[in-house]
């Protein structure tokens, strides 16, 4: 736990109180962030809660909670500030949420009542802090190189041979690799998979790769040889000749808070992980927007069923009611049915966790900034 001076603590609390007041007006002016009519007066935080789940008890749209709490950009990136045992209290008069705690000591040593007040939010207070979303659903996708673009694929180091003539490699086996390691020593092994095509342009925007395992450099190429020597550190699937290497990414930050993208985004669902036709709650989808388009970790997009184009058979001007052929083609409105939380971002593609859907997600559906 960090130590704060009395003056520093008072300034921090004053800052938080000020933030609560300014945020209340902002939230009240944003109909997307309204409270549920049957919202409870309070909720005691228990182990296993998520910030998204708690917020869904109070708000029409759970992703709005950073706005209601008044979180700034840095706090959104690392919202470690609510723990089991604390109380989330709905201040109905002010129209905002407050954080409180139970067990206030009295003069005689007993504990009574509940203290409810804005509290200083501090980063990185420990492993017990609540996660934004159920992290178990996305952990396998956070560090594995599942999406590679054409440039990465062309330049990725590749396995050219295995020790003792092995066809496939397992843990502790030796492998020989050619390619530019870019001073890396720890790598993930992947196999290029299905090309991902943009539903709007039909162009390839990346390849969904299969994660196979990890390898460590044991001897860099030297002298007249351009071949590096590696050892397999872990193997999830069989690793073979021709498989590619990618530098191991840094440990990902799991707890980005949900927030709308900084710029307006209109994307389409490119694929559903696992090659299935439809996705439901807590399944993984990819969209055709990434870093190049302003998507960042924690971005929330609303899912819409793409409105079909039909022929208006009631159009008198087209002669339908008079029995003539023809008609006016019109596009039906897109219908909003859920949200997606972006948890991994590549150059042109992003992965998202499907949240709060009333219908199944299909390839080609629209994902755009909350209105």
Domain ranges within the chain, ordered by starting residue: 6-135, 147-247, 266-368
Show contacts of 40-45: CB within 8 Å, 24+ apart. 40/90, 41/89, 41/90, 41/92, 42/87, 42/88, 42/89, 42/90, 42/100, 43/87, 43/88, 44/85, 44/86, 44/87, 44/88, 44/102, 45/82, 45/83, 45/84, 45/85, 45/86, 45/87, 45/88, 45/130
Q: How confident is the model at residue 351 (pLDDT cuts 50, 70, 90)?
A: very high
Cα gap 271→357, rounded to integer Å = 17
CB atoms within 10 A of CB 75: 18
pLDDT digits (tens, 9 = 90+) for 314-323: 776 655 554 5
**CATH class, range 266-368:** mainly beta
pLDDT digits (tens, 9 = 90+) for 260-300: 888 899 999 999 987 788 888 888 999 999 999 999 888 99
- pTM comes to 0.69
pLDDT at 25 over 80: no
CB atoms within 10 A of CB 175: 24
Q: What is the pLDDT of residue 163?
A: 83
pLDDT at 226 over 80: yes
pLDDT at 50 over 60: yes
Mean pLDDT of the chain: 77
Residue 15 or residue 359, greater confidence: 359
Residue 207 or residue 250, greater confidence: 207
Q: How confident is the model at residue 251 (pLDDT cuts 50, 70, 90)?
A: low
Q: What is the pLDDT of residue 255?
A: 61
Cα gap 353→289, rounded to integer Å = 15
Query: Which helix or strand (DSSP H or E) is residue 154 part of?
Result: helix 150-155
pLDDT at 114 over 60: no
Mean pLDDT along residues 334-358: 90
Q: What is the pLDDT of residue 319?
A: 58
């Amino acid at each position: 736990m960090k130590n704060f001076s009395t003056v520093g603590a008072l300034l921090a609390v004053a800052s938080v109180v000020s933030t609560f007041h300014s945020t209340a007006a902002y939230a009240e002016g944003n109909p997307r962030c309204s409270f549920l009519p049957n919202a409870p007066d309070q909720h005691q935080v228990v182990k296993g809660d998520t910030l998204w789940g708690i917020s869904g008890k109070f708000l029409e749209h759970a992703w709005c909670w950073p706005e209601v709490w008044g979180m700034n950009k840095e706090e959104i990136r690392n919202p470690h500030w609510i723990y089991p045992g604390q109380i989330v209290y709905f201040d109905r008069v002010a129209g905002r949420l407050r954080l409180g705690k139970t067990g206030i000591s009295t003069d005689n040593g007993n504990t009574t009542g509940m203290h409810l007040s804005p509290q200083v939010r501090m980063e990185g207070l420990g492993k017990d802090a609540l996660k934004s979303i159920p992290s178990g659903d996305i952990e396998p996708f956070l560090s594995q190189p599942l999406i590679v673009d054409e440039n990465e694929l062309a330049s990725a180091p590749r396995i050219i041979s295995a020790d003792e003539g092995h066809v496939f490699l397992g843990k502790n086996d030796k492998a020989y690799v050619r390619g530019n390691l870019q001073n890396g020593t720890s790598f993930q092994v992947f196999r290029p998979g299905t090309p991902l095509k943009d539903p709007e342009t039909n162009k390839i925007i990346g390849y969904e790769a299969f994660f196979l395992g990890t390898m460590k450099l044991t001897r860099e190429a030297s002298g007249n040889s351009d071949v590096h020597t590696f050892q397999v550190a872990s193997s999830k699937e069989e690793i073979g000749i021709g498989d590619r290497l990618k530098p191991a990414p840094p440990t990902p930050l799991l707890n980005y808070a949900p927030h709308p993208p900084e710029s307006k985004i209109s994307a389409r669902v490119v694929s559903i992980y696992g090659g299935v036709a439809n996705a439901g709650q807590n399944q993984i989808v990819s969209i055709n927007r990434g870093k190049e388009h302003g998507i960042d970790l924690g971005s929330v997009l609303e899912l819409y069923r793409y409105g079909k184009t039909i022929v208006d058979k009631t159009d008198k001007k087209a002669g339908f009611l008079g029995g003539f052929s023809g008609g006016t083609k019109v596009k039906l409105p897109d219908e909003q049915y859920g949200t997606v939380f972006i948890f991994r971002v590549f150059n042109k593609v992003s992965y998202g966790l499907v949240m709060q859907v009333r219908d199944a997600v299909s390839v080609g559906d629209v994902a755009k900034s909350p209105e």
